[in-house]
């Protein structure tokens, strides 16, 4: 399984969000296995940096982004992805960009805490808990 992990899941772990940390950390751990991959979008990287720096400081945000980039792949977002997302049926352009980037990269799924944002996607959409259940089944 190669999955694009939505920004909210990365932030659950990085910011130790109490209600969501456990499931999000577990899905990332399972996707680190030799048979699976967790990837992030290029836009997630910049959003993560901004939000972590806002909550902590610049140095901490840089270190967290550095660790993510050392351990996880990044799905490119280029002009073609941005243009394709414009014609998406999705009401949320940002989510449409993520979906099109994941499709272009040949990924299997998107992991998000907001599956309703990806209704009608051609990819499988999982919450962290759903993907954990699917991977350990």
Instruction: Enumerate the domain spans of the chain.
Output: 2-136
Report the share of the chain in percent with pLDDT over 70.
99
What mean pLDDT value characterizes the chain? 94
The structure's pTM equals 0.93
Q: Judge contact between 1 and 109, C-beta under 8 A.
A: yes
Give the tens place of pLDDT for each residue, 2-20: 999 999 999 999 999 999 9
Q: How confident is the model at residue 91, as a pLDDT?
A: 85
Query: For the domain 2-136, what is the CATH code?
Result: 3.40.50.1010
pLDDT digits (tens, 9 = 90+) for 28-76: 999 987 689 999 999 999 999 999 999 999 999 999 999 999 999 999 9
Sheet containing 109-111, strands listed edge to edge, beginning at the edge strand earlier in sequence: 73-75, 37-41, 2-5, 109-111, 124-126
pLDDT tens profile 82-110: 999 999 888 899 999 999 999 999 999 99
pLDDT of residue 9: 97
């Amino acid at each position: 399984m190669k999955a694009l992990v939505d920004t909210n899941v990365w932030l659950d772990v990085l910011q130790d969000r109490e209600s969501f940390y456990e499931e999000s950390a577990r899905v990332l751990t399972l996707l680190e296995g030799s048979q699976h991959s967790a990837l992030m979008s290029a836009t997630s990287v910049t959003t993560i940096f901004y939000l972590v720096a806002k909550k902590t400081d610049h140095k901490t945000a840089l270190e967290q982004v550095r660790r993510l980039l050392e351990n996880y792949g990044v799905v490119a977002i280029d002009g073609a992805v941005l243009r394709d997302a414009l014609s998406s049926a999705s009401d949320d352009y940002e989510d449409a960009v993520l979906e099109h980037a994941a499709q272009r990269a040949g990924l299997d799924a998107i992991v998000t805490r907001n599956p309703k944002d990806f209704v009608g996607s051609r990819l499988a959409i999982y919450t962290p808990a759903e993907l954990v259940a699917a991977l350990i089944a």
